[in-house]
Amino acid sequence: DQQVKQNSPSLSVQEGRISILNCDYTNSMFDYFLWYKKYPAEGPTFLISISSIKDKNEDGRFTVFLNKSAKHLSLHIVPSQPGDSAVYFCAWRQAGTALIFGKGTTLSVSS
């Protein structure tokens, strides 16, 4: 059973608008959630993370929200730019282990 679920395979947004990428998880024992961004033919690059003791973390245009009661987190990108078009993976890290990745959401930002 998938421990990290990204239920939307794709998302299309206009430049300047908000992009919201969602992730659901099943296990309550976690240390950190991380978001990675991946361009074609490149490795994933770390974007932003949130620890289990927080409900929000912000870095420039990127904000991650964590709702522990709903076992849900979301990544907000404001404003969206064409260069943000990529595949976004959320990943769960339980303390002391490697990452468990979701299947990814492909974001397309049109100008």
Partner 1 sequence: NAGVTQTPKFRVLKTGQSMTLLCAQDMNHEYMYWYRQDPGMGLRLIHYSVGEGTTAKGEVPDGYNVSRLKKQNFLLGLESAAPSQTSVYFCASSSGQGGAQYFGPGTRLLVL
Q: Of 42 and 69, which has the nearer Cβ to partner 1?
A: 42
CB nearer partner 1, residue 6 or residue 63: 6
Min dist. Cβ of residue 70 to partner 1 (A): 21
| Separation CA 48–CA 81 (nearest Å) | 17
Asked if 110 contacts 15 with a C-beta cutoff of 8 angstroms, the reply is: yes
Query: Residue 97 CB, nearest distance to partner 1 (Å)?
Result: 7
Least Å distance, CB 77 to partner 1, is 19
Question: For partner 1, which is the closer residue by CB, 32 or 79?
Answer: 32
In angstroms, give the least distance from the CB of 20 to partner 1. 19
Token pair of 55 as six digits: 């409900």
Residues 6 or more apart whose Cβ sits within 8 Å of residue 41 = none
Q: Give contact residues for partner 1 (rule: CB under 8 A).
A: 4, 6, 9, 31-32, 34, 36, 41-46, 49, 89, 91, 95-104
- Cα–Cα distance measured from residue 65 to residue 48, given in angstroms and rounded to the nearest whole number: 11
Q: Give the rounded distance of the alpha carbon of 49 from its chain centre.
A: 9
Beta bridge partners of 10: 106
Q: Which is nearer to partner 1, 42 or 60 (CB)?
A: 42
